[in-house]
Amino acid sequence: MSSVTVVASLLVLLYTPLAGACQIQPDANGAAATASNGQPFPWNSMRLPDHVLPLHYDLLIHPNLTSLDFTGEVSIKMAVQEDTSTIILHSKDLQIYDAALLKSDGSVGGPLQVLEYPAFQQIALLSDGVLFRAGDVYSVHLKFAAKLSESFHGFYKSSYRTSQGEVRFLASTQFEPTSARAAFPCFDEPAFKSSFSIRIRREGRHIALSNMPKIKTLTVPGGLLEDHFDVTVRMSTYLVAYIVSDFQSISKTSEHGIKISVYTIPEKIGQADFALRAAARLLDFYDDYFDIPYPLPKQDLAAIPDFQSGAMENWGLTTYRETALLFDPEKSSASDKLGITMIIAHELAHQWFGNLVTMQWWNDLWLNEGFAKFMEFVSVNITNPELQVEDYFLGKCFEAMEVDSLPSSHPVSTPVENPAQIQEMFDDVSYDKGACILHMLRDFLTPEAFKLGIVRYLKKYSFHNTVSGHLWESLTNICDSDGMDEGRFKGYASCSRPGTTTGASKWYAEDELDVKAVMETWTLQEGFPLVTAEVKGHEVKLSQERFLKSDKPSHTSEFLWQVPLTYITSDSSTLHRFLLTTRTDVLYLPAEVEWIKFNVDMSGYYVVHYNSASWDALANLLQRNHTALSSNDRASLINNVFQLVSVGKVSLDRALDLSLYLSKETEIMPVTQGLHELVPLYKLMEKRDMHHLENQMKGYIVQLFRDLIDRQAWSDEGSVSQRMLRSYLLLFACVRGHPPCVDKASKLFQKWKESDGSMSLPNDVSLAVFAVGARTEEGWDFLLEKYKQSLYSSLKSRIKSALTISPLDYKLKWLMEQSLEGEVLKTQDLPYVVSSVSRNPKGYKHAWDFLRANWETLIKKFDLGSHSISHMVIAVTSQYSTREMLDEVRGFFGSLTEEKGAGLRCIQQAYENIEENIRWMDKNLPLLQAWLNRHGLQTQINN
């Protein structure tokens, strides 16, 4: 599953990066379970027993898109592992009105009693005098009915408005992680893999889609049609999917013979071609890279008008937000092209990582999501080199570290039980940290050895479930044949690498590297290390501790990592390696050096601190000859030095002094990272009404980047990185009121408005133009009208973003209210709207009031524990820095019951963010004022 990052990535430079999702703590309850009818319920665990295993589901679904409900029937064939009198499975909000045991010939063998236990979303099937015996196979048949869900999960309704104003409905599924049970009774845990035969009844004006190709259509009573789909491969319930709609499609066949189709509402089918071509390239790439043929005959990609996350990897029928799939060369930006390609790459990587090989339980979700996030970059770097994806991977690691540096973080692999806990595993730790530690491991082992290991892993565990240890085993002894690879690993250069290590490297200190021992320090404990390097002559004293933003004692202070250090020096651009396995160690250099830079290209998931002389040397190098270091090295120095200010290791003066070099910078990663570190400083002041210092800080940032901003062309020319940098800079400059930018954008907006929106604006600069236009009521209303009329998702996204940046506070309130209502703006966009308004100096108080006033509605619509909820909680609270606001935030969240979210991890993160902001302001505010005064920076008048 993908999160939405396409247009939002343009705005993140203006605001503090969001922390990831939150998590509910387990609630152990040993009380006896009672069914809804008052009878004892025969099972009292959130997890299903494993004494009955599903073999096959025969599922019939009939949605009614007029009454917006559905009926269904399911026959489940099961193998009994232990003698039992009951069958326990999942069901949520389903009315089960008939249950029977089937004989071997398919006839009814007798009724079954159904006991319901809604607290665990379970049902029990039992029959007087019937014992289900170990070794035997049984089938049960259930009939059920329910309303189509009003949320974004289960079997839910979606709608769209045609250009003629007609509202049309469709029904689609979103089952991950625990919502298949809301669509049909099932064993809704990832380890209960099974095959599925799916039939769907529909009206003739609709089509039906599912995981497999349609094999026939029958006419049934009532003038309906019944589509029969081919039997699926063995898979988990969360990957089942079906859609009933009036979609149209375009198709092509991949080089490996797979039929690929993109489905969308009829009026947007002209925007499907880019995704179709990208999917064909990427599916062929994965087929070759993993050396495992894609196991299904088709791959459909469907754009759903209402969709909570970014996309979903249902096997053979991946589903997407419209903004994550639809592209128009005349309306879409470089950011759109990159975002759409990456999301498709993510979902198609899941067809192997997640679908073919699935984690045993949700505690190892990172095996799915971390790998898919990582493979986005590996695949797109090869299939679409023009997108320059390597420029953006670093940002994912920085985002993960924001969450992972807080006391409330969790290990990559962490115990979870209930649905809300599982939902909250879909966060920056599972996705981005997972990807970053895999990137580090790949660099550690060499790309060749890493690839061989993951291919071995996929082949060995195809159609099965795994835990993290299975991956580490597959990546150990990589040069030995295991019978699956015919010994072909022996020919790879990396297999002889242990014998060729040289110099100070401790990379392969032993005969065989213990991958499991190294990687479990990164997956079984939260956080990441701060490595301190003190250089004295030939000697570098190394030490490690947890990088933790807290002033309270922590049990994690004893954590120890095995850290694959890399470094370059002023004397050698050759990459040197050193495996730090102890709390302290000493590295010996062949000669004294002018400077040393650890964590080359930030390939490792750790922060580095240097002694004073080494920081001075690196700062001088950046001022004198910044291109002596790679752009990723420069970005990591900017990130590290400001993060070290937060934990009191480095003075704010040193960090700001180092930032002065940015006036010479032209590369996207160091520039955007500079903005990520500097902009949040004045965002804190906005919420304290410290206008003079706030404007001084804004003035410094604009002055720092003024030359680069003024050199930007108002066009769509250049490489993808150049175009995205242009979007970042011009949006920043216009929102900050930089006169040349505002003047140019105002003129372009006026011309666009006079043409009634028909004039073609350069897509990469249009957000800056719209943001300036939205400053007036007339401009804001015109943009809203164009938003309502447009069929182009990318254009609508940029207009929506501009509307949330406006200084018109009454418009911001209206925008949030309308997003909740769902008529003018889709409710799926509400988390983004609330978060964006919360970062607006004219809107942050309204966003906090809105979140509190509508909390119960929000957790019902978006699900307790979802990333959408945590996204809003963190965004709305993350820039407060006073004890008064901390008390107010604690007062609201502290009044919630457990059922309303009292235990959410993101609430704890919100407290910790505010506490960190208070500490930062208490310590650094006078230093910041003095530094700005010392550098003669004038207050910037424009806001």
Catalytic residues: 347
In the sheet with 529-536, reading across from the earlier edge strand, the strands are 584-588, 539-546, 529-536, 607-610
Q: What is the DSSP letter of 41?
A: P
d(C-alpha 253, C-alpha 231), whole Å: 21
User: Minimal CA–CA distance to 507: which of 609, 450, 434, 580?
Assistant: 580
Contacts of 131 (CB under 8 A, 6+ apart): 83, 84, 85
What would the two tokens of residue 607 be?
A: 């922060």
d(C-alpha 407, C-alpha 909), whole Å: 8
Residue 94's φ and ψ, nearest 5 degrees, are -105, 135
Contacts of 777 (CB under 8 A, 6+ apart): 808, 811
Give the Cβ contact number of residue 754 at 10 Å. 10
With beta carbons less than 8 A apart as the criterion, state whether 55 and 195 touch. Answer: yes
Contacts of 906 (CB under 8 A, 6+ apart): 19, 21, 22, 23, 424, 869, 870, 873, 874
With beta carbons less than 8 A apart as the criterion, state whether 661 and 626 touch. Answer: yes
At residue 678's C-alpha, the angle toward residues 677 and 683, to 5°, is 105
- Count how many Cα atoms sit within 13 Å of the Cα of residue 918 in the half-sphere of its side chain: 15
User: Minimal CA–CA distance to 88: which of 135, 136, 120?
Assistant: 120
With beta carbons less than 8 A apart as the criterion, state whether 206 and 244 touch. Answer: yes
Q: What is the DSSP letter of 194?
A: B
The per-residue b/e assignment along 804-826, b for 16 or more CB within 10 angstroms, e otherwise, is bbbbbbebbbbbbbbbbebeebb
C-alpha 708: how far from chain center? 31
What would the two tokens of residue 659 be?
A: 């930032």
User: CA–CA distance from 225 to each of 62, 159, 219, 895 (Å)?
Assistant: 10, 22, 5, 52
What would the two tokens of residue 257 be?
A: 């013979």
- Amino acid present at 464: H
C-alpha 497: how far from chain center? 35
- H or E element: which one contains 214? strand 214-220
User: Minimal CA–CA distance to 334: which of 722, 813, 874?
Assistant: 722
d(C-alpha 730, C-alpha 414), whole Å: 42
d(C-alpha 482, C-alpha 864), whole Å: 45
d(C-alpha 142, C-alpha 74), whole Å: 5
With beta carbons less than 8 A apart as the criterion, state whether 585 and 540 touch. Answer: no
- Beta-sheet strands, E only, within 653-744: none
What sections of 446-503 are H helices per DSSP? 447-460, 468-474
d(C-alpha 412, C-alpha 427), whole Å: 10
Contacts of 686 (CB under 8 A, 6+ apart): 694, 841, 844, 879
Q: Look-up: residue for tokens 């947007």?
A: 268
Q: What is the DSSP letter of 392?
A: T
Give the Cβ contact number of residue 198 at 10 Å. 25
Q: Look-up: residue for tokens 């970042």?
A: 728
My answer on whether omega of the bond before 177 falls inside 30° of 0, hence cis, is yes
